[in-house]
Structure 1
Amino acid sequence: MLIMDAVLETYKATDFTLWPIAEPSANRLLPLSGQLSSREVGTAMAILTEYNGSSRRRARATEKSLEQVRRLVTAESVVAPGGLRIRDTVTGVTALPGCCFGLENWRDWGVLADGEWPWLGHDPTPRVEHVGAIIRLWPDTDRHEGPPIDIPRAQLPELLGSVQDELVAFSRSVGRWAGHWFPPVSAALVERLDEGLVISAPLPDSHS
């Protein structure tokens, strides 16, 4: 079984103190979904505000926390460290997102269905081969470790649709989180994330 999910890297959340966050996982990846706890959503928002606005970790006033969120709301573009992770539960092989690809580019995976070769980042450096009706993904060509993951081309829209469903659910969780902590910008924050991460727009050939 193939599982594709959207993940954020959590390194930037280290020592963050503006609002409650969760303890980072051992692999420093946070899968985004509607099942996150309030603290896990707080972790995601710590990462996104740190990457898309000035750090305010040492600020003591609530207004400074709100200012940091507002910087994300007004950011010209949204940068989200991480990307798409795909796992083959039969072989146990996992392909992690490459550096500098970014979750904001998650829809670029869609061109694989047309036989194209999108750039998917580096360190790890995934490589794609098109073998008939199969998209063969090598998780890291720099290290040459492990077998590839074979993705049936016809299944790709379904996998990307599942990612979109989880991102939509995540954005709703962000709305609830922001409604509690930062009501003045709650709606604008959800709208900015939807636009910046291109969450709700229809996917070609998806079930959406």
Structure 2
Amino acid sequence: MDAALETYQARDFALWPVAPPRPDGVLLLSGGLSPLEVGTAMAVWAGYNHDLDPGDPRAADAGALLWRTVEAECTIAPGGLCVRDTVSGALVRSGCCCGLETWREWLDLADGAELWLGHDPSPRVEHLGSVVRIWPDGRDAAHTPVGRPVELAVAELPGLLEDVQGKLRGFLGLARQWAERHAPPLARALVDRLDTDWSISAPLCG
């Protein structure tokens, strides 16, 4: 299980260095990212929440964009959790309009909750006693869902989510290094905002 960030927002981004676009448009967050990949993640986060008109002078000012991110009431990020069956290779990713900031909602699966995981594709969740079956597409379809599902034992969810949190904490450490290099006056505020809005460091309860 990984925290996945959609990177389309970073296409043609030029306010600071970013990594070349990935074919699948997805960046898995962890403490193992390169500096350019961290730059991509920060570009997605800041740009997604403050999509400035190209004619606006602030659109060409990295400091202004980052300051607006710090000052925002709250921020969100396109993406979510993705889960892969390492035996079958089946993969489920969140669909469009799902937010990475809601990753902790997966804890609610243990209580029989239904998750909204986006659309186009529209992942579908089925509760089968001690197992949760997640289909990559077909939540809104009356017929059999599309693709191969991933089955998770409910008892394994806390451990999987602790692993996700560890990867996000690793990414947060890299984001701190990035901010100290690219925006020293805002570094602490940027990291605090990222940590708070993505619910990274708070204890994981379930």
Q: Same fold (TM over 0.5)?
A: yes
1:92-171 alignment to 2 at 5 Å? 92-141=89-138, 142=141, 144-171=145-172
Q: Deviations over 1:159-195 (max 9, x none)?
A: 1111111111111100001101110000110000011
Alignment-mate amino acid for residue 91 of structure 1:
S
Matched residues in 2 for 1:163 and 1:67: separation? 31
Q: How far apart in 1 are the matches of 2:161 and 2:106? A: 8
Alignment of 1:71-86 (within 5 A): 71-86=68-83
Q: Where in structure 1 are there 5+ consecutive unaligned residues? A: none
CA distance in 1, matches of 2:99, 2:57: 31
Match of 1:32 in 2: 29
- What's the offset of the Cα at 1:16? 0.6
Question: Aligned partners of 1:124, 1:77: CA distance in 2, in Å?
Answer: 26
Identity of aligned residues (%): 49
Q: 1: distance between equivalents of 2:205 and 2:43?
A: 31
Following TM superposition, by how much is the alpha carbon of 1:146 offset from its aligned partner in structure 2, in angstroms?
2.3
Q: 1:136-170, CA deviations, whole angstroms, 9 ceiling, x for partnerless residues?
A: 11111159332211100000011111111111111
| 4+ runs deviating over 4 angstroms | 56-61
Q: Which residue of 1 aligns with 2:181?
A: 180
- 1:10 paired with 2:11, answer no
Distance of 1:56 and 1:147 partners within structure 2 = 41
Question: What TM-score, normalized to structure 1?
Answer: 0.91
Shift of 1:85: 0.6
- Residue by residue, what CA displacement relative to the aligned partner does 1:79-138 show, whole Å, maximum 9, x if unpaired? 100111111110110001111121011111110011111212111111111111101111
Aligned residue for 1:197?
198
CA RMSD of aligned residues (A): 1.9
Residue 36 of structure 1 deviates from its aligned partner by 0.7
Give, in whole Å, the separation in 2 of the partners of 1:133 and 1:204.
Answer: 19
CA offset digits 1:15-59 (Å, max 9, x no partner): 111000000111000111111111110000111111112438789
Q: Counterpart amino acid of 1:202?
A: P
Distance 1:10 1:40 in 2: 10
Q: Aligned partners of 1:58 and 1:171: how far apart in 2?
A: 32
Q: Which amino acid aligns with 1:99?
A: C
* Distance in 2 of aligned mates of 1:53 and 1:74: 11
Give the aligned partner of residue 88 of structure 1: 85
**SS, match of residue 198 in structure 1:** coil
Separation (CA, whole Å) in 2 of partners of 1:187 and 1:34: 18
**CA distance in structure 1 between the aligned counterparts of 2:50 and 2:150, rounded to whole angstroms:** 37
Gaps of 5+ in 2: none
